[in-house]
Structure 1
Amino acid sequence: VKGETIDAWYSGKHRDFGANIQAVARPDGLPIWTSPAMPGHLHDLTCAQTLGVTAALNWAATELDLPTLADS
């Protein structure tokens, strides 16, 4: 409702409360790193950039010639 405070953990896209958790996994699916829970209203890319995930993956790609796959 216009004028009311919106909770940071509320996702308008899903119309529910939740969290955004980023993860880095090995090719076999085993997670090697997970982020702390971030508010559900944040976009995946915003969370990844805030946590430094994109910078780390860019470094791994250039320095170690390690490719990265990401979901859309």
Structure 2
Amino acid sequence: MSRKEKIKVELDLFKTLIVTLLTALFGILAFSALNYQNFTLITALSVVLAIFVLIGGLIILAKQFKKQLNNLEKED
């Protein structure tokens, strides 16, 4: 496998992980919207923590995606 192909595979993996994290984020937001009246302090803190973790993961993956995309452009 050439370096260029390896970078393309990594980009595909990053795209898949980004979509997965976005789906989880929307799922948590939908859960929050449907159940906000029944929230306890623990549930609310868990939701906020999960949202921050998912957003952090998205930021990290987006940076890695951009880095690998720049590497792919350099390979051409």
* TM-score normalised by the chain length of structure 2: 0.28
The structure that is helix-richer by fraction is: 2
* TM-score normalised by the chain length of structure 1: 0.29
The structure that is strand-richer by fraction is: 1
